Every structure is written in C-alpha cells, then in structure tokens.
Structure 1
Amino acid sequence: MTNLNQGQRTLKLNRVTQIGFSAVLATMVGVGIISKLSMGSLVDALNWVSHTYEVEAELRALEKVLLDAETGERGFLFTNKEEFLEPYNSSIKELKAHFSKLEILIRDNPEQLKRLDRIEDLAQQKMDNLAQTIALKKAGKEQILRELVVSGTGKQIMDQIRVRLDEMIDVEDELLNKRKEDASRTEQLTTLVSLGGTALAILLGILCLLFIARKVIRPINQVANIIASSSSEIAAMTTQQESIAAQQASSVHQATATMDKLGASSKQSAEQAEVAATGARQVAELAETGTRAVEYTLEDMAILREKVLAIAEQILCLSEQTNQIRSISGLVSDLANQTNMLALNAAVEAVRAGEHGKGFAVVASEIRKLADQSKKSAGKINILVAEIQGAINSTMMVTNEGTKTVEQGVKTAEGTAETFMNVANAISSVVMSSQQISLTAKQQAIAVQQVVDAMNTLNQGATETACGISQTKTGTLKLNEAALNLQAVV
C-alpha cells in the first residue's frame, strides 16, 4: 500500500512538474513568439519612420543642390570667374544621384513617384536655365543675359520646384506621423505582451510552486524523514554485520593459516614417509646383498675348510717326509763319521807308506774334509729339520685351530644368514608399511590442500562479503546524507 501511495505521489509529482513547467514554458514561448512578432512589427515601423526621415532628408538635399547650383551660377555671373562654377558643376552629378536614390526610396508610393518625375523635369529646366545664363556670360552677351535674368524664368522654375518639394515633404510628414503612431501602438502592444506574458508566467510559476509545496513537498519531507530514519537503522545494522563479517574473515584467515601449516606438515610427513620408504627399500636391498654375501661367505668357508683339511693332510705328509729327511740326515752323519774314520785311517796308512803314500794322504785329507763338511751339513740339516718339524707342529696346531675357527665361522655365518633373512623379511614389512604411510600421507596432503583451497575460497568470500558490507555501509551513509540534504532543501 505504501509503495502504491509512493508511486501515486511520484506520478503526481511528475504530472504536476510536467504540467506546471509546461504551462510556464508554453507561456514563455508564447510571450517570446508574440514579443518576437511585435518586435518585428516595431522594427518595421521604426524602419519606415527612418525611411520617411531619409526621404525628407533626400528631398531637402535635392533642394540644397539646386540652390548650390544657382549660387555658383550667380557667383560666376557677378565675377566671371570659373572657380565659382564648382558648386554648379558638382550639382550636376549630385542631382542624378539624389534622384536615383529617391526613386529607390519611394518606389512603393506611385503618387510620390509622379511628383518626383515632375520635380525632375523642373530641375532639368532649372539646370538648362542656369546653363543658358552661364553660356551667355561666357559669350559676353550681357544684354541678352540681363533680359533673361530680369524675365524671372529661373525664379519661377525654382518656385515651382519648392512647391513640389513641399508637397512631397508634406506627404512624407503625413506618412511619418502615421508610421510614428503605428510604431507607438506596436511598442505599447509589445510592452503589454511582454509584461503581461511575464506576469502570467510568474503567476503560473507561483501557483505551481504553491501546489507543489502543499501537495508534493510535504509528502517528500515525510518520505525524507522515513529514509533518514531507515538509513540510520540500516547503517547501524550494516556496522554490526561489518563487524561480524570482519570477525568471520579473521577466523577464516586464522583457520586458513592453520590449515596451511597442517598442509605443510602433511606434505613434509609425506616427503619424510617417502624418504623412509626409499631408505627402507635401500636397507632391504642391502640386507638382500648381505644375505647373498653371507651365502657366498658360507660357500667360501666350506671351500676354506676343505683347503685347510687339505693343508693339514699335506702338513702330515710333510711331517712324515721331514722325518724321512731327518733319518737320511742321520745316515749321512753316520756315513760322514765313518768316512772321517776311514780318512783318518788312510792318513795314518799314508804316513806309514812314506813317499808312496803322500798322494793317498792328500786324498784322505780331502775325503776327511768332505766328511767333515758332510757332517756339518747333516748337522745343519738336522737343525733345519728340527725347525721345520717345530714349524710343522705349530702349523698343525694353527691348522687345527683354523679348522675349528672355520667351523665356528660357518656356524656364525649360517646364523648371520638366518638373521639377514629375518632382517630382510622385517625390512620388507617396513617397506610395505612405509609405502602405505607415504600413500596415506599423500592422500592426507591432497585432502588438506583441498581443505586449504576451500578455506581460501571461503576467506575470499568472507573478504568480499566484508567489502560488500563496507560498500553497503558507505552507500547507506550517502543515502542518509542525501536524505538530510533533501530535508534541508525541502
């Protein structure tokens, strides 16, 4: 209902404004048109008045030119000097110019044209009379000249010209008076129309203002009061909503920051899980490599045990051969002792033989030396064999210990292999768990990123809402200011 009343008021305001201003405008336009027409008529009347004054001035100028010609003619007659004919000579051209202009000025008045033609004939007669007197003066015919002047022909023509000019001037005076009266009436009408139209326009404007003040301004003032009150309430509500929107935007911003941190943590966890999975895979590969290395070690240990056993057998053989060498060395030592004894006996026998036994003595001596050397060598061999036997015994002991160590190493390697197998199985489980954790962390990171995007969108929406509310507040304040200005104006 209120909207309908406001629509009716708005419609009434539009109609009143249109009708009022249209009436005032129409009145002013009418006044302008009438004033324009009246001013045109007044200008025409004034132009006709000026035209009449111009015709009278030309008629008087025509009379003056004839008088100047007559004056020049008289001066020449009295003085017989050519310079006195200057006014006469000038008047010939001036007469033609004045008659031509008068014909143009009075071409709308046939009666005046007839009078002007008569005056033109008389003026020609006057000029002919003046030319005749001047010619007689120049010819020296003074008697004929005196008779012509005394006859009064020139004076009679001039009197007729004056009468005709006076008639034309009287007619122009009558026209002038009539045109002055027309101009005066036109001026009065123009003044009356201008003042009356202006007064009517002012009266219509005042009536429109009074009607608008009583029927329109008062409702507008009431509406302005309602707008001011409503805009104040809207401004208060907008301020409250702006505060709430700002708080929401701040909360959303904090939540967004938290989600950003959570997203970064999730991303970091995913990266760490990926690194752990990679490390676990590397450890699994290393465990598998270790298992293979232990297997290779077991194989090498088995080969080593076989070789150690072979070495032990060779050492036993070497020990037996050393014993044989020791036996042979004993035999050689015994043989050297016996040879030494035989050489000693041979030396004794050589001494007994004298000169014949010297060669045998030398041989015996050499054999004895060889026997001593063999004995010494056998002694050294025994020492070496003893040392070799000691080394063989030590080697046997070390070989036995090595065999035991190899067997213990085999057992340890087998345990290590079993441990590596267990470690490999455990690492495989760790790898699978790490991969599952990495996948879960990636999914969590994606979910957190989606939440962050949603929070950013929500934050942007909250910011835009706050901006919109701020703009609404600004618009409401401007509306309130406009309402106050409207109240002040109304």
Structure 2
Amino acid sequence: MKLRQVVPWGFTAIVAVLIGNGVLSQLTARGLTNTVNEVMQGYRVQTSLQALEQVIVDLQLGERGFIITRDPDFLRPYQTAQSNLAQEFARAKTLLQNEPAQLQNLNELEALSNEAIAVLSNNIARVRNGETPSSEELIQGNQVIEQVRVKVAQMLQAESQTLATRKDIVTRAEILSAISTLGGTLLGTLLGLSIVGFVIRQVVQPINQVTLAITSSSTEIAATVAQQEHFATEQATSVHQTNSIMEELGASSRQSAEQAQKTATGAQEVSQLAETGIQAVSYTLEDMSVLKAKVEQIAQQILHLSQQTDRIGNISELVTALANQTNMLALNAAVEAVRAGDSGRGFAIIAEEIRKLADQSKNSAAKIGVLVSDIQKAIAATAIATQEGTQTVENSLKTAEGMAQTFTGVTTAISSVALNNQQISLNAQQQAIAIQQVVSAMNSLNEGAAQTANGISQTKISTQKLNEAALDLQAVV
C-alpha cells in the first residue's frame, strides 16, 4: 500500500476507535446514572414502607394507651396516625407505580390496615361507652397489626432483593466501562505506532536515497558542463570551417536544454504533489483537534456526574445525623418514661419504636454512603481512562505535525532541484551559442566534437537519473 492510502485509512481507523470509545463511555455513564436513580428509588420505597409501618404502630400504641389509662390524650397519636395513613399510602402508590407486584402487595397491605383500624376503632368506641373490650377483641387487633407488619417485612425484603440486583448491574457496568476504555486506548495506540513505522519505512528512507541520487547526478552534470565550456572556447577559431558540424552540435545542445527543462517541469509537478500531501496532513490535524475537543467534553460530563454524586453523599450524611439525633431523643424519652413509672409505660413503648426507626434510618443512610463511594470510584476510573485517551490524541497530533514538517522539507528540496535544472537548461543554451562561434582547426574541432558528444551523453544519463529519482519520489508520495 502507498502512503496516500495508508495515512487516510490509518487515521480514519484511529478516529473511529476513539469516537467509538467515547460513545461507549458516554453510554456507560448514562447507564450508571440510570441505575443510581433506580437504587435511590428503591431506598425511597423502603423509607415509605417503614413510614407506613410506623403509622400502624402509632395507631396500636394510641389504642393501647387509651384502653389502659382511659385518658383521651392518648388518642392524639392515634388520630394523627389515622389522618396520615392515607397520605402515606398515596405516596407509596406513587413510588410503586412501575412495580406491579409490589403495588399489588401494597393494596393488600392497605386492606389489612383498614381492617386493623376497624378493630382498633371498635375497641376505642367500647371504652368510650364505659365498656371493657374482651381479650378476644384485643387479641384480634394484635393479630391484624402483626399481619400488617409481616406484609411490610415481605415488601421490604423484595425491595432489598431488587436493590441487590441493581448493585450487580452497577458492578458489571463498571467492569465493561474499564475494559472498553482500556481496549480502545490500546487499539488506537497500536494503530498510531503502525502508521508511524510505515511512514518511516516508506517515506523517510526512500527520500534519503533519492536525495543522495540527486546530489550525485547534480555533481556529474556540473563537471560535464564545465568540460563542455572548456572545449567550446578552444573551438571558437574554427567555427567558419565546421558550420554544418556545429549546427548538429547546436541541435544536440538544444535537445539537452529541452530535456533539462522537462526535468524541471517534472520536479515542479512533484513539488505540487508534496504540497497536496501537506494539505492532507493539515486536514488530519484539524480532525484530530476536533476529536480532542469531544474527549474533553466527555471529561467535563464525568466531572459533573461526580459533583452530583458528592451531593448525594452529603444528603446521606445529613440523614445519618438526623437519625443519631432522633435516637438520642428516643433514649431521653425512655428515661423520662421510666421516671414517670406506670403512667409513662405507654410513652416508653413509643420511645422504643422511635429508637428502632432511627436505627433503621441510620442503616439506610450507611448503605447509601457505601453505594455513593462505589459510584465515585467508578467515575474516577472512567475519568482516568478518558484522560489517557486525550493523551493519546495529543501524541497523534504531535506525530502528524512532524509529518507536515517532513513534507515541507521535501517540497523545499524539490524546489531547489527544479531551480538547478533550469540553470542547467540556460547553460546548455549558452553552450549552443558558443559552439556556433567555434573556429578552431579541424583536428581540434573533431576532438572537441567527440568530447562534446560524450559530455552531452553523460548529461543525458544524469538527467535520466534525476527523472527516475523524481518518479520514485512521486510513487512514494
């Protein structure tokens, strides 16, 4: 393959690899973002289910406290929980609208909750009427509440399994991103090194050989022309006796001048082809610059994703702090309930449930923190791979700039050769004029004519060498 075929196809392959690598990195980043959103959705569902469970517990605690103490103040948590229950179910349905199985479980949980409210409300009504609920009625209320808790636990277990599956998806996406980024970078590097090696073998070495051939031929031409000049001076005295012979010599000199002119024209065409090669390398540099800008845009998007992940981590820390404060308040409430004796027993139960809820919130926040840390590590690995791809593009740009400088040097050398050939053509024309003035003796004329013919033959051979060297350079470029 020739240089004009290898360079475009080679750089096209490198650009295709880098673009594919960038697109795959972008798709992976989007997949990670979607998975993170799904994980956060799962944690929101768990929080909502825990809130529902807490509302049911508040209903039971309010009912028990009123039955034991017959104090209407204990009905306040019951009434508040009853008013919040519909809101919590509406919120949970909104979160589970894309999960049909969990939504069905939520409907069953709502039916159980309504049944529990009916039993608890019946017990409260009997107490208000001065009656005492039977043990069977109290046990029935406890059984319904326990069924509600079991149903909530089942839904929480299902959400935990879904979260585990999504975490596995995040892990596989991280591995795929690392493999694709590293593979694309290595492939682009190997392609670049292959093109550089081909250019060195097919351009640099042949140009060195052509330069040596042009230098040698130019030296021979200069020596031959000097010798022709010497013999033309000796023949100046006998030009009137050898007009016919001199006309033939003049025709030969004109032919040599025409051949030198053709050689100069060929060298100019080679120079134009070299300039075309410079333009092609320039276009390649522009395309590589555009690619570098695209890779930098990808790096900026990854940085933005990292900032969003940091915000999620801050929110998780805030939830942890709130859970710790809630836990401390629950402990203080429990201490106060102990001090109050039997009258604070119901409040102690409420404080214990609050403490459990705070522990659950703290554990959920810790899980969020671990997940955010894993995502940050994946984003950091992707950013490093993108930076390596940018470095590869910069190295390719430097290589292309070196090729442009090489083509510029070749153009300068060929222009110099064309100028020398034009000077040779001018000298040959001057020799033809000088030959016509030769008036030397016949012996000197014959000897000089023979030597002139030999010199012209040598000039023709040297010119042919220059022509072949120019054709070799054209074939390479």
Provide TM-score, normalisation by structure 2. Answer: 0.41
The higher-RCO structure (CA 8 Å, 6+ apart) is: 2
